[in-house]
Amino acid sequence: MTEPNVSLLGRLSLAFGTFFSILGDRDFAASVLRVRSGAAPAPAPAPAAAPAPAPAPAPAPVVIKEATPEAALQLLGLLQRDARFIDFVEEDIAKFSDADIGAAARLVHEGCRATLREHFTIRPVRDEAEGSRVTINEGFDATAIRLTGNVVGKAPFSGSISHRGWRVADVRLPKLTQSHDASVLAPAEVEL
């Protein structure tokens, strides 16, 4: 089977839709993590003299939900409206000085921050300060904690928090009318 040729807008839409599905659905996030990590290795064969262990129950099938792009496109439109995000990213900044780029980035940052705070309640995954020593016990939520560095053996693991992580506690995107075209991120402006 040949892979479909997905356009840039299609990939962007898929990425944002998947992003919000992961933020809003813990089970979907766990499914994506399982898919990304690949299939579990087959268990080693039991020694000939030992009786065969009872078969483990089959894991539940991974259900991949197709994310609709509307919410992702809506957020991209809000970031454009409030922060001129797309204008900034699409601008060829090579011709500008670092001071000009920094001034523009400050405005984009303020607008993006305001948009996120208006439409999302975002909380850290871990409450401890970055750099704090923590112990991660067996059975930890691998969708909420990623172990990095020299990961060897089994839990409990001891380490330092290098990033507290982010979790969305609430989403408040505006409702869209049936006729709204979410693919129009910003209308063309014609001055008369």
1-48 pLDDT tens trace:
444 565 555 555 566 566 666 666 677 667 766 766 764 444 445 555
Name which residue leads in pLDDT, 102 or 17.
102
Considering only CA atoms, give the Rg of the chain.
Answer: 23
What is the chain's mean pLDDT, rounded? 83
- Percent of the chain exceeding pLDDT 70 equals 74
Q: CA neighbours within 13 Å on the CB side: how many for 24?
A: 15
Could you tell me the residue ranges of all domains in the chain? Answer: 8-37+62-124+168-192, 126-164
Task: Specify the 3-state DSSP secondary structure of 170.
Answer: strand
**DSSP H helical ranges for 57-151:** 70-83, 85-90, 98-119
Torsion, Cα of 131, 169, 185, 73 (10° steps) = 100
Q: What are the distances in angstroms from CA 156 to CA 116, 126, 134, 138, 146?
A: 35, 17, 10, 6, 14
pTM of the model: 0.59
What's the average model confidence in pLDDT over 101-112? 95
Confidence of residue 119 (pLDDT cuts 50, 70, 90): very high
* CA 61 – CA 73 distance, rounded (Å): 30
The pLDDT of residue 44: 47
